Amino acid sequence: MDTSYVAVAVVTSRTEAELIAGLLRSNGLEAAVSADDAGGQDPQLQILGVRVLVAPADEAAARQVIADAQTA
């Protein structure tokens, strides 16, 4: 099983990252959110970056979905 992932977005809140991940999922892509915020116990660390991750094979499609959403 391939466990490598690619960040397609880095934002400053878990909420925003979850919204982006939800958008990707609703378009048929698997997406995960990764943050170094002590499991949500230290939310101020989110300012350092919360990543939205996808499989490398889905990177182009994910970036296109995000770009389309930003221009809509």
61 phi and psi, to 5 degrees?
-65, -40
Q: Facing residues of 26 across strands?
A: none
In whole angstroms, what is the distance from residue 58 CA to residue 72 CA? 21
Residues 61 and 32: their CA atoms lie apart, in Å, by 15
Residue 58 pLDDT exceeds 90 = yes
What value does the mean pLDDT of the chain take? Answer: 87
Query: Given pLDDT bands bounded at 50, 70 and 90, which one contains residue 12?
Result: confident
Give the residue with greater pLDDT, 39 vs 7. Answer: 7
pLDDT of 1 reads: 41
Nearest Cα residue to 44 out of 2, 3, 11, 13: 13
pLDDT digits (tens, 9 = 90+) for 26-51: 999 999 998 875 565 666 665 678 89
- Between CA 23 and CA 69 the distance in angstroms is 9
